[in-house]
């Protein structure tokens, strides 16, 4: 029933009706796929890359002629696991009933895979048990050559692509580039969030993926659009939310998609029919209280200098010049050299991210709720 199901979902993709905007980005991804351009999709974490890929695939699936395959390689640690993931994803996308699926299974048999079935979902999983890296390379080449020759266009999204930079096999990028470059019927979306690493993979002229893709950077959804979206979702479920409450939600969650969704999800869950600013503020307060335990644990992971720096960044929201006298003096946090070291540590721990806006490079606390909690300290 509409009234019971929480429409502000916090994971997965739940159809275009519960997905806010991203029209331009979706159009661009579709156009790239149709025009033979591979895309690199970048953003900070939890901004909506995976959602956007699913949303794009949902639109593409309605048009004929493009088959979409999604792979998340976050859990893979080497070329072997990457190859297994690709094989499994293709097998799932083209089940054995499908003529392509039948042919694919035939091809796989040449590579002598172990095919098992997930006991919960009953979906197949492929695992190659080769001894030499070369054998994985051959099977990868074989799989992509197979996809290329099926007389269809395939859109293949590889999510968390930055993972390949951690594989022990040094030549993974060169290998993939060699395999991917000549393909005409398989279009790629490489998506990832470790911006520094992905930028390096794609923009460093010494690295093989250089200049081979179009980069799409995902920012926040426009405030007006998110406000209209939230209002519509509530009103379709016979609930009213006041304008100042909507303003507050989008500002407080910085329009960082996941955090905006969490706040809305909570407010929806209260069952309130006429939502005021005060009620929203109370919910946000409770939310921070509930997470306090986790926030204190962060403090245990950091030196006191790093903690103070994190707090100072939270209070400023965005810090463009962390080494400036003004910032250091205002928050009384050591020397420029300390700050630099502290920033590196916070970036490495993904407690802080680095981004660009019209005023140049800036630093911000990654977890929006942690930032809201810290700024009160």
Ligand X SMILES: Nc1ncnc2c1ncn2[C@@H]1O[C@H](COP(=O)(O)OP(=O)(O)OP(=O)(O)O)[C@@H](O)[C@H]1O
50 binding ligand X? (CB under 6 A): yes
195 binding ligand X? (CB under 6 A): no
Six token digits for residue 352: 């802080």
Contact residue for ligand X among 153, 172, 220, 257 (CB under 6 A): 257
Contact residue for ligand X among 46, 67, 311, 372 (CB under 6 A): 46
Give the residue with the Cβ less far from Mg ion, 22 or 80. 22
49 binding ligand X? (CB under 6 A): yes
Residue-wise over 91-121: b if at least 16 C-beta within 10 A, else e?
Answer: bbbbeeeeebbeebbeebeebebeeeeeeee
Contact residue for ligand X among 7, 25, 32, 48 (CB under 6 A): 48
Contact, 333 vs 312, CB < 8 A?
Answer: yes
Q: Is 40 helix (H, G, I), strand (E, B) or coil?
A: strand
Contact residue for Mg ion among 50, 84, 172, 253 (CB under 5 A): 50
Stretch of 60-68, 124-132, 139-147, 255-263 lying at the interface with ligand X (CB under 6 A):
255-263
22 binding ligand X? (CB under 6 A): yes
11 binding ligand X? (CB under 6 A): yes
Nearest distance from C-beta of residue 6 to ligand X, angstroms: 12
Q: ∠ CA 164-168-172 to the nearest 5 degrees?
A: 45
Nearest distance from C-beta of residue 137 to ligand X, angstroms: 28
348 binding ligand X? (CB under 6 A): no
Six token digits for residue 261: 């969704």
Q: Is 113 helix (H, G, I), strand (E, B) or coil?
A: strand
Torsion over CA: 314, 319, 325, 330 (sign): negative
Q: How far is CA 166 from CA 89, 94, 271, 318, in A?
A: 21, 30, 46, 30
Contacts to Mg ion by CB under 5 A: 49-50
Contacts to ligand X by CB under 6 A: 9-11, 19-22, 43, 45-51, 193, 257-258, 261
């Amino acid at each position: 029933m509409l009234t019971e199901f929480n429409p502000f979902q916090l994971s997965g993709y739940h159809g275009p009706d519960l997905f806010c905007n991203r029209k331009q980005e979706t159009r661009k991804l579709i156009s790239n796929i149709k025009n033979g351009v591979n895309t690199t999709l970048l953003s900070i974490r939890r901004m909506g890359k995976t959602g956007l890929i699913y949303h794009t695939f949902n639109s593409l699936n309605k048009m004929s002629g493009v088959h979409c395959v999604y792979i998340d390689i976050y859990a893979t640690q080497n070329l072997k696991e990457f190859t297994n993931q690709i094989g499994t994803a293709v097998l799932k996308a083209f089940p054995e009933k499908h003529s392509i699926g039948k042919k694919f299974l035939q091809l796989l048999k040449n590579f002598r895979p172990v095919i098992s079935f997930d006991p919960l979902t009953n979906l197949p999983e492929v695992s190659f048990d080769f001894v030499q890296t070369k054998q994985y390379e051959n099977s990868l080449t074989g799989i992509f050559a197979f996809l290329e020759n099926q007389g269809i266009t395939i859109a293949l999204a590889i999510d968390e692509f930055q993972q390949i930079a951690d594989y022990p096999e040094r030549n993974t990028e060169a290998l993939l580039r060699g395999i991917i470059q000549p393909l005409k019927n398989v279009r790629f979306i490489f998506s990832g969030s470790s911006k520094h690493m992905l930028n390096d993979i794609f923009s460093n002229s010494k690295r093989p993926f250089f200049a081979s893709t179009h980069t799409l950077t995902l920012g926040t959804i426009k405030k007006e659009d998110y406000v209209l979206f939230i209002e519509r979702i509530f009103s379709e479920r016979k609930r009213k939310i006041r304008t100042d409450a909507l303003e507050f939600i989008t500002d407080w969650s910085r329009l960082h998609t996941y955090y905006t969704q969490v706040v809305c999800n909570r407010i929806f869950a209260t069952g309130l029919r006429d939502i005021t600013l005060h009620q929203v503020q109370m919910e946000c307060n409770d939310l921070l209280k509930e997470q306090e335990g986790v926030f204190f644990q962060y403090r245990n992971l950091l030196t006191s200098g790093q903690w103070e720096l994190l707090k100072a960044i939270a209070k400023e929201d965005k810090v463009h010049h962390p080494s400036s006298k003004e910032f250091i003096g205002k928050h009384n946090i050591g020397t420029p050299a300390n700050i630099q070291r502290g920033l590196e540590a916070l970036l490495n721990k993904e407690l802080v991210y680095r981004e660009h806006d019209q005023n140049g490079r800036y630093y911000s606390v990654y977890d929006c709720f942690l930032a809201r909690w810290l700024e009160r300290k």
